[in-house]
Structure 1
Amino acid sequence: MDILSIFTGMLWQIFTSPTLVLILVGSTFLGIIFGAMPGLTATLGVALLTTLTYGLDSQTALLALLAIYVGGVYGGMYTAILLNIPGTAASAATAMDGYPMAKKGQVGRAFGLTTTSSLIGSFIGMIFVALLSPVIAQAALQFTSYEYFLLALFGILISGSLTSPDLAIKGWVAGLFGIWLSTIGQDHMQMYPRFTFGMHELDNGIDVVPVLIGAFGMPQIMSVLESKMKMGKMGSSFGKLLPDFKTMYKNTKNIVSSALIGVGIGAVPGIGEDIAAWVAYGVARKTNKNPEEFGTGKAEGVIATATANQACVGGAMIPLLSLGIPGSPPAVMLLGALMLHNIAPGPMLLKTNPTFIPEVTAILFAAAIAMWICGMILSKQVIYILRIPQTLFMPLIAVLCVIGSFALGLRVFNLYLMGIIGVISYFFMKLRIPIAPLVIGVILGPMADTSLRTGLKTTGGSLWPMVERPISLALVVIILLILSSQIPAFNKLIRYLFGSVKRALATSS
């Protein structure tokens, strides 16, 4: 039985069964809600739904879990565009241009572009899962500890460079502060407590969700209540809710490159959708004719981040299915759910269950369709949130932030943590220091810390292997170029060299 027959057969089974359609739509809708509400991430949604699928067969359970995963990654864009409060870390990059579009009265256009880009990104990710998973999984296997460390450092640096309004070093400071926060608690190698100051609540480290809510939610709430903002053009002009196909067609190259970035980064175990979105945003900005317009409500930025986010879901499935290594935090929960249903992902999966990967591909296709339909329907309703004066709406968001922080482990300490991070982020915002690199640092910090220390132990403290391998050497060169780009003399030298080459070519011709 070939791949196409299994794929179409699974789709027929899903869409001809009212029960499966109800589970598909309900799980996708629930995922969108989890993604949109601060703190209720796709990871938490998959974790909570896993316990409810224990009595279901493996195919039905997988349908529900993948649907809530796809919906959760997409749902974070709602609050990112409407309120500049990303529901998930992956949607933080979408807020860069999505929120300015909303302030211009283009909420409907932003939703249409994001939803359609997410659909296309899901399709491209699905294709890679079905056809190229062995190739990409083999490439991911080439990463050693130093590559993981350099990739984490690259993600923090590029996030700081792209989000800082004036000096990139401000973004790097925020990212390094996030890395320091991630080192609080017992280290992952020797279980020795660091920076806990005798507080047992810090032994397990800093939870990401309270940091995410405190960093993005609290400063926005405080600034709105401080300025007593009232509705202006944002509430009076929503624009078209239908997809802007003309703009999508003009961004064909942007969509393809962003999707490939999403799949590639998703295939690297442990990275996740947030880095994919920032890298795609950076590439779109660098290759655009008017990069200075990014951050002011440019459609290209919204399209790039949304496409990469959803393509990363397919990318994260590649190492999960082929190697048994999850490619993102939600995929970690999905791995546990598969094992709960006696499915062991890994190299032997193709022999023990040869139809499994085509079935997963079909489920991803169905989940993408459900996400687009639910997304377009909800977009028409969610925009009415803008009719509520923000001074009345923000206290409700504050309550949801408190619930989201407390729901993680039911720890009161997380509320204190959210408040402290919120106050720090508020002053960061006043000092024009970007907040996103702080959260990225907290997320990637453990991987950077563990990978660097593992690499040093493996090589006896030597850093030479970092420049001896092609992949790590390429990352080192890119990082050095990013750092050097902030040195005026280096920029002058580059401009002089480019000018000399250009003049030489002109003379020879």
Structure 2
Amino acid sequence: MFDGLIMFGHSIASFATPTTILYALVATLVGLIIGALPGLTATMGVALMTTMTLTLQPNDAILILICTYVGAIYGGSRSAILLNIPGTPASAASCLDGYALARQGLAGRAMGIATSGSVLGTWIGMLFLATLTPVLGEAALKFGAYEFFWLAVFGVVISGNLTGNDPLKGWIAGFLGLFIATIGQEGLYAHDRFTFGYHDLSGGVALLPALVGAFGFAEVLTVMRDKPRDVILNSFDAVIPRIRDVLQYWRTIIRSGVIGTGIGIIPGVGEDVAAWSSYAAARRASKEKEQFGKGSVEGLMAAETGDNACVPGSVIPVLTLAVPGSAPAAVLLAAMLIHGVQPGPLIMVNSPQFVFDVVAMMLIASIAILIYGLTLTRLLVKILQVPQTLVMPVIFVLCVVGSFALASRVFDIYVMLFFGIVGFLLRRLNYPMAPLVLGIVLGDLLDKNLRRGLVLSDGDLTPFFTRPISVVLFLLIAATILLNIPVFHRTAVGLWTHASASFRRAQRPEQPTSRRPHD
């Protein structure tokens, strides 16, 4: 513990330079603007910023990306409160009470609540990031090829199950991503797969152009198709967060922070699920249930705390397992690999200082959003009035330039355009994008560890089902799939209801039988 505090202090000191602070402030502001503009997601922001940080030192580049990530998740609350449109999917739950407060003339108070919840949520997640990463890093040392294979499958399955309304569509998107990851030369013998004679495909599909297309160009097409909404620009009340709002709902803040961090650790789930889960938990525990959806301070606080706590939580599996906890974290993982950082089970052995560098980056980003939330709210609101017809061409140009800058290949621009069109069509068909991204990121992990495991066992599949951790992951995957099949779901619900009723009956004290006295 003491060593961790020393390393954290060293990380803070290393970032206390004018250049680094300027990087953090500018990146957080860019992220906030991206998050505030409807249709521009945190994933797109981190992907575009990654292409612009290729020449920077690794720590500076990762700091810029984390500040962009945190700023974008926070910035989504601006349009959620003023437009009733979530700036990012993570802010969808904030629309319910944030917009209701704005319609009551309390837009300033709503944004103050969002600011305090975002900062406190990031701090709670940051605390877990500092304490859980070393523990999970040690546990991850027990993972071999067999366990990493099932972990990759688990990430795709659970992501498909928890994102979107139809698990089957989520799984289809996830396994489409896994298929895309197999294009190119395989890892052991360099044999071409699914290249169809095109030499440009031999190196595989580059991750960043694919992500820039799926989240950048696809967003451009989506936003340009939809009609803009009017902004509520009533006179603002005070935007300074009220101490009473924080102290009154301290239980909600802690609960939402823990829930958000926990959901962030689950591979591929993301901030939107964290926000809705925190909101639902707050509503169940609240004494003011009837206020939720009508301008509840507690509801808005829960949603904003939960989605922002998910950001540090989603970085935990990135550092310990090299498995992203969310779509933006997937881009962050790719950026770390590009800049020579090797996340995974050995990170606490090879680069323990880097873990606390990331914790310090989260702290700096949270301070930056606090500063902007208290000082620039009125100015940032004006950004929402910028016509989308002016913003989208700029985003498209950045998508093209960013895709080309990675390897100076025109082919990467074609990859970006292709994935942008595919992403747009998938969204129109209500397919979630997070499983697709996670499938592309985890495909390499799954493929290499499947082949490595088969080589180690001479083609025997038995070790995949007999090692303890492998068995647990396999059973979790099987249970997740079976519980989404109606017959098994109804059976499980029936068994659970019967077991619960039996347990309650067993807990009741036995009533003595009354007998009529004999005459």
2:394 counterpart (391, 396, 414): 396
- 1:222 is aligned to 221
SS of the counterpart of 2:407?
Answer: coil
1:13–1:301 distance in 2 versus 1, CA, 3 Å: closer
Cα distance in 2 for residues equivalent to 1:305 and 1:151: 24
Structure 1 letter corresponding to 2:181: S
Structure 1 letter corresponding to 2:147: E
1:193: how far off?
1.6
Cα distance in 2 for residues equivalent to 1:237 and 1:435: 38
Cα distance in 1 for residues equivalent to 2:416 and 2:8: 47
Structure 2 letter corresponding to 1:404: G
| Equivalences for residues 155-174 of structure 1 within 5 A | 155-165=155-165, 167-174=166-173
1:169: how far off?
0.7
Cα distance in 2 for residues equivalent to 1:478 and 1:337: 28
- 2:334 is aligned to 329
1:238: how far off?
8.7
Cα distance in 1 for residues equivalent to 2:220 and 2:379: 22
1:71: how far off?
0.8
- Of 371-380 and 394-403, more deviation after overlay is shown by 371-380
1:496–1:208 distance in 2 versus 1, CA, 3 Å: same
1:318–1:119 distance in 2 versus 1, CA, 3 Å: farther
Structure 1 letter corresponding to 2:440: V
TM-score (norm 2): 0.72
1:43–1:213 distance in 2 versus 1, CA, 3 Å: closer
1:375–1:40 distance in 2 versus 1, CA, 3 Å: farther
TM-score (norm 1): 0.73
- On the 8 A contact 2:62/2:335 being kept in 1, the answer is no
1:67 counterpart (63, 69, 72): 63
1:255: how far off?
0.8
- On the 8 A contact 2:256/2:282 being kept in 1, the answer is no
- 2:438 is aligned to 440
- 2:493 is aligned to 495
SS of the counterpart of 2:421?
Answer: helix
- On the 8 A contact 2:126/2:312 being kept in 1, the answer is no
1:383: how far off?
3.4
- 2:190 is aligned to 191
Structure 2 letter corresponding to 1:154: F
1:363–1:417 distance in 2 versus 1, CA, 3 Å: closer
- 1:254 is aligned to 256
1:217: how far off?
3.1
- On the 8 A contact 1:7/1:361 being kept in 2, the answer is no
1:116–1:394 distance in 2 versus 1, CA, 3 Å: same
Structure 1 letter corresponding to 2:174: G
Structure 2 letter corresponding to 1:304: G
1:101: how far off?
7.8
Cα distance in 2 for residues equivalent to 1:150 and 1:240: 51
Question: How big is each residue's C-alpha offset from its partner over 1:342-382, in whole Å with a ceiling of 9 and x where there is no partner?
Answer: xx9763778xxxx9987886676455434543566566544
Segments of structure 1 that go 5 or more residues without pairing to the other structure are 54-60, 85-90, 266-270, 321-326, 339-343
Structure 2 letter corresponding to 1:427: L
- 2:512 is aligned to none
Cα distance in 2 for residues equivalent to 1:288 and 1:14: 39
1:277: how far off?
4.5
Cα distance in 2 for residues equivalent to 1:207 and 1:371: 32
Cα distance in 1 for residues equivalent to 2:188 and 2:112: 46
Structure 2 letter corresponding to 1:147: E
- On the 8 A contact 1:125/1:314 being kept in 2, the answer is no
Structure 1 letter corresponding to 2:463: P
Structure 1 letter corresponding to 2:138: Q
Question: How big is each residue's C-alpha offset from its partner over 1:151-185, in whole Å with a ceiling of 9 and x where there is no partner?
Answer: 222222222223333x3211111111111111111
- Does 2:140 correspond to 1:140? yes
Cα distance in 2 for residues equivalent to 1:251 and 1:66: 28
1:198: how far off?
1.6
1:410–1:433 distance in 2 versus 1, CA, 3 Å: same
How many equivalent residue pairs? 463
Structure 1 letter corresponding to 2:386: I
- 2:502 is aligned to 504
Cα distance in 2 for residues equivalent to 1:473 and 1:238: 56
Structure 1 letter corresponding to 2:401: I
| Equivalences for residues 194-209 of structure 1 within 5 A | 194-209=193-208
- 1:26 is aligned to 22
Cα distance in 2 for residues equivalent to 1:155 and 1:240: 43
1:23–1:317 distance in 2 versus 1, CA, 3 Å: farther
SS of the counterpart of 1:347?
Answer: helix
- Does 2:96 correspond to 1:94? no
1:359–1:222 distance in 2 versus 1, CA, 3 Å: closer
- On the 8 A contact 1:73/1:310 being kept in 2, the answer is no
Question: How big is each residue's C-alpha offset from its partner over 1:420-472, in whole Å with a ceiling of 9 and x where there is no partner?
Answer: 22222222222222222222211221112112222222223333323323322
- 2:461 is aligned to 463
Structure 2 letter corresponding to 1:222: L
| Equivalences for residues 45-56 of structure 1 within 5 A | 51-53=55-57
- Of 463-472 and 329-338, more deviation after overlay is shown by 329-338
- Does 2:310 correspond to 1:308? yes
Cα distance in 2 for residues equivalent to 1:101 and 1:413: 45
- Does 2:403 correspond to 1:405? yes
Structure 2 letter corresponding to 1:413: F
1:141: how far off?
0.6
Cα distance in 1 for residues equivalent to 2:30 and 2:490: 48
Question: How big is each residue's C-alpha offset from its partner over 1:392-417, in whole Å with a ceiling of 9 and x where there is no partner?
Answer: 43333323322332332232222222
1:2: how far off?
5.8
Structure 1 letter corresponding to 2:66: V
If you compute each CA radius of gyration, which structure gives the higher value, 1 or 2? Answer: 2
Question: How big is each residue's C-alpha offset from its partner over 1:27-56, in whole Å with a ceiling of 9 and x where there is no partner?
Answer: 213433675487876588678668555xxx
1:497: how far off?
0.7
Cα distance in 2 for residues equivalent to 1:359 and 1:225: 39
Structure 1 letter corresponding to 2:381: I
Backbone CA RMSD of aligned residues: 4.5
1:223–1:68 distance in 2 versus 1, CA, 3 Å: closer
- On the 8 A contact 1:316/1:328 being kept in 2, the answer is yes
1:387: how far off?
0.9
1:27–1:141 distance in 2 versus 1, CA, 3 Å: same
- 1:212 is aligned to 211
1:73: how far off?
2.8
Cα distance in 2 for residues equivalent to 1:101 and 1:218: 31
Cα distance in 2 for residues equivalent to 1:452 and 1:110: 49
Q: Give the percent of matched residue pairs that are identical in Structure 1 and Structure 2.
A: 30
Cα distance in 2 for residues equivalent to 1:438 and 1:356: 29
